[in-house]
Amino acid sequence: MEMREIYVYINGEYYLKSEAKISVFDHGFLYGDGVFEGIRAYNGSVFKLKEHIDRLYSSAHAIMLDIPLTKKEMTKAVIETLKRNRHTTAYIRLVVSRGIGDLGLDPRKCSKSTIVIITDRIKLHEKGAKEEGLKAIISWVKRDPVDATTHEVKSLNYLNSILAKIEANNAGVDEAICLNKEGSVCEGVAENIFIVSNGVIITPPTSTGALRGITRNVVIEEAQKLGYRTIENEITPADLFFADEVFFTGTAAEIVPVIEINRRKIRDGKPGPITQELMREYLKLTRDPQEGVPIC
Ligand code: PXG
């Protein structure tokens, strides 16, 4: 075990983890006013870094949050943080909050946004999740609607997902599936969702309120390259129960099979063959330096 303390980037300076602190007046803390990204580096290359940086700036644009760095400077700051920490395989958390204001929620009181970059070891699902698959429940907590604090924007407001996760924890299962207020399947708590039905790969459109997942996009592209038909279509809870295969996708989770939902087995309750094929392809891709930005 390495005992070296990691450095955390805050507004252009590097602080030891034990000294990396944010003001209690930061509106990220007081109101969840900000945006973030979760990114992964594999063997010296940051997977899909450009896509993550682009999404961060899109999220910031949607909430009218000014990021005082160019995308190029932000990319450099991420790489520099990894280098300082001598991390070649890591989990990266990029957070931009509205910054320090007063006790009112008016963002005009926040003169400068706060930028934080943390790189750390990767925390994965329980060992065996990928091999055996996850058990999930459909949560009663509906996804925030597209005309409200939608999860299409990767904001610091994750209470919607956290409440669903609490339900999964209470039910003693691994993960929760969120429906939108019309009752359509939307996504997991921090993952997009796919089903396989008669060889066709289906995922809900982002108009359900789901995040435009970067892993989701990669999986759609790879599936098409393998010759599968992929469609964005409404998925009902019954479609989940009828599906041949169900899986989640996300930066942290990568691709994980779902084998049981609300105590109904998905087919024979084992990870499906198309899911496993996509998992193998994804593994290859994440190890391909061409797919990311090198840490050098
Ligand atoms: N939906 C939501 C609501 C998410 O937050 C995804 C889908 C998957 O998107 P990507 O682009 O990662 O394929 C996310 C991603 C975490 C964590 O710490 C959360 C995310 C990503 C990484 C880590 O739980 N959210």
Q: How many domains does the chain have?
A: 2
Pocket test for ligand 1, best of 211, 219, 221, 282 (most atoms within 8 A of CB): 211
Could you tell me the CATH number of the domain that includes residue 236? 3.20.10.10
Which residue's CA is minimally distant from atom 9 of ligand 1?
A: 213
Residue 121 confidence (pLDDT): 86
For the chain, how far is it from start to end, CA to CA, in angstroms?
25
Q: For 230-242, what is each residue's pLDDT tens digit?
A: 999 999 999 999 9
Whether 225 is a known active-site residue: answer no
Which residue's CA is minimally distant from atom 21 of ligand 1?
A: 38
Same domain, 41 and 146: no
Q: Is the CB of 152 under 6 A from ligand 1?
A: no
User: What's the token pair of residue 170?
Assistant: 């209470």
Q: Which of 48, 135, 154, 165 is catalytic?
A: 154
Same domain, 109 and 66: yes
Q: Answer whether residue 123 shows pLDDT above 80.
A: no
Residue 4 confidence (pLDDT): 87
Contact 240, 246 (CB under 8 A): yes
Q: Is the CB of 146 under 6 A from ligand 1?
A: no
Range of the domain at 187: 129-286
Tokens 């009181």 -> residue = 109
Q: Is residue 207 part of a domain?
A: yes
Q: Is residue 295 part of a domain?
A: no
Domain boundary among 69, 95, 122: 122
Domain boundary among 69, 99, 122: 122
Q: Is residue 99 part of a domain?
A: yes
Phi, psi of 168 (to 5 degrees): -65, -45
Q: For 2-12, what is each residue's pLDDT tens digit?
A: 578 999 999 99
Q: How far is the CA of 191 from the centre of ligand 1 (A)?
A: 5
Same domain, 268 and 141: yes
Q: Answer whether residue 33 shows pLDDT above 70.
A: yes
Pocket test for ligand 1, best of 37, 54, 92, 192 (most atoms within 8 A of CB): 192
3-state secondary structure of 52: helix
Same domain, 118 and 136: no
